[in-house]
Structure 1
Amino acid sequence: MSTPRLLGLPRDVWPRILAPLMMGMILLGAWEFAVRHFGVPAYVVPGPVLIGQALVADWPSLAAALVVTLRITVLALLVAVTAGVLLALLFSQSKWVEMTFLPYAVILQVTPIVAIAPLIIIWVDNVQAALLICAWIVAFFPIVSNTTIGLNSTDRNLVDLFRLYGATRWQTLLQLRLPAAMPFFLAGLRISGGLSLIGAIVAEFVAGAGGASSGLAYRILEAGYQLQIPRMFAALALISLAGVVIFLSLSLLSHLLLRRWHESAMSPDR
């Protein structure tokens, strides 16, 4: 028996939407009550109402900074996907290539971006290009790691079956290995989406570049210098909201690509 649907969504989806929203409203209400009840100064911790007012009042500058940060984030994610998938394909075709280059990808991942971002900004004359490189470094490893695992996790019996029927190496890759690796790649993509935003923010903090092309990180620094704490929290709220939207968008993409054939995305009633 099919599950009843509301507004085209399965019934079990609504608790996942409404429960976090209700908890968020409760937390915001408790936050506002606490700062008012205990008389916490706005320059220490502003309440949600003041943060909302600052968001509305400073929306033009914050929105422009959000666009700058999101542009770097999206570009870094696209570069990470392209480079990560291509490198994972090379790894899956040659164990020698994987053993040679994968340790360097690991070194790139475990090196703190805060430590190498100043060097990148010094070496690269273009600030935007330097920010893009920093964000790409953070987002790159989950793509290449998860995609490599997915390509290497293909069912050996199916690989032998393809070989038995005379499939070429490229036919096996395109028709078997890549579809089998798709859930792993999409899982890495969801992780890299958030990491690319983190990398862009960290790089902006290190660069400290102002002007019309500055992102949300600089707006936070600027608000801190001017003791405009509600504005600082408003910029931070936009960063958090952008991260949530990126994760939900990539989760929706994953669901749409996998819902008809992979168990992780299929509805329980199917």
Structure 2
Amino acid sequence: MVIETLPARLDPEEAKRVRQERLERIGSWLLPLLIMLFAIWLWDRICVWNEIPRYILPRPHVVAQTLYTDAALLFGSLLVTLKITFLSLLLAVIGGVGLAVLFTQSKWVEMSFFPFAIVLQVTPIVAIFPLINIYVDNQTAKLLLCSWIVAFFPILSNTTLGLNSVDRNLRDLFRLNGATRWQKLRHLRLPAAMPYFLGGLKIAGGLSLIGAVVAEFVAGSSGQSSGLASRIIEAGYRLNAPRLFAALILISLTGILIFLVLSLVSHLLLRRWHESALKQER
């Protein structure tokens, strides 16, 4: 007996949905790429049409050439900036999460110390740095402290919010079953706070880079062991616009890379259980 198999066909609505998803996947990377290429082309044309000298606005290929010829100097400075960035982010994670746990364990601790965290957040780092410059002798410690102050608050506030956002029914269930404070923290509060913490981490990652660069600007550090901000200041004094633009591009690309890496970490940690990372059904 011959069994005829009919080709599986999608209904019009399903086919439209599949096409829409395919277009969105392609457009998510194609459109930004096209706009970026157009912006680079327009930048180049503006320089040519207006005959702008390279010490004011260099053409894109001049910046790319400078990025290649000065790679040793620029990437060496990038490593210095990255060291400050990641160390400050690590300290912000340790301090922010640790203090957030203390806040959730004792309302008295939260009421006592949270206002000081807000003061650090709302006070401009350029206003705090003169005090840091007086009391801290080590140049690296100065930069690290400035960057940490900028990155600390998002992790503290987001993690505290997450730890306090546990479902009341689940809290009552743990209490009825005689769970200890440590068990409630480990099995209930910390998993509930994970999406909030990761959201704060993505914010703090970019802020730690910004803090490191701003701290270098304020500190005015110079020399072979200085970061990218010092290269920008030096290039500005010497009217070396190609190097200045090359350093700016390195900072921007580094910030984008940090955000993408932290977004990937967040997705990998949440993809199996949290609504924000699960694939949405349409």
Aligned length: 267
- 2:8 match: none
Q: Corresponding residue for 1:192?
A: 204
1:102-145 Cα offsets, whole Å, 9 max, x none, are 00000000000011123212321110011000000000000000
Q: 1:82 — aligned with what?
A: 94
Structure 1 unmatched runs, 5+: 5-9
Classify 1:93/1:13 alpha carbon distance in 2 versus 1 (closer, same or farther; 3 Å).
Answer: farther
Partner of 1:207: 219
3-state SS in 2 of match to 1:268: coil
Aligned equivalent of 2:75, options 63, 84, 94 = 63
Look up the match of 1:146.
158
2:30 partner amino acid: L
For residues 220-254 of structure 1, the C-alpha deviation after alignment (integer angstroms, 9 at most, x for no partner) is 01111111011101001101111111111101110
Structure 2 gap segments, 5+ residues each: 1-13
> 195-204 or 110-119: which moved more?
110-119
Specify which of 184, 195, 198 is matched with residue 183 of structure 1.
Answer: 195
- Give, in whole Å, the separation in 2 of the partners of 1:21 and 1:76: 32
The one-letter amino acid of 1:126's match is: N
Provide the aligned C-alpha RMSD in A: 2.0
Q: Give the alignment's TM-score, normalised by structure 1.
A: 0.94
The match for 2:251 is 239
State TM-score, norm by structure 2. Answer: 0.90
2:59 matches 1:47: yes
Aligned to 1:7: none
Partner of 1:98: 110
Verify the 8 A CA contact 1:139 1:192 in the aligned structure 2. Answer: yes
Structure 1 stretches of at least 4 aligned residues deviating more than 3 Å after TM superposition = 10-14
Distance in structure 1 (CA, Å) of the matches to 2:281 and 2:23: 11
SS of 2:178's equivalent? coil
More moved, 195-204 vs 47-56: 47-56
**Partner deviation per Cα, 1:134-172 (whole Å, 9 max, x = no partner):** 000000000000000000011111111111222111111
Contact 1:121 1:131 in 2 (8 A): no
**CA distance in structure 2 between the aligned counterparts of 1:12 and 1:158, rounded to whole angstroms:** 38
Code of the residue aligned with 1:204 in structure 2: it is E
Q: Percent identity?
A: 61
In terms of Rg, which structure is larger? 2
Maintained 8 Å contact 1:72/1:132:
yes
Range with greater deviation from structure 2 (136-145 or 30-39): 30-39
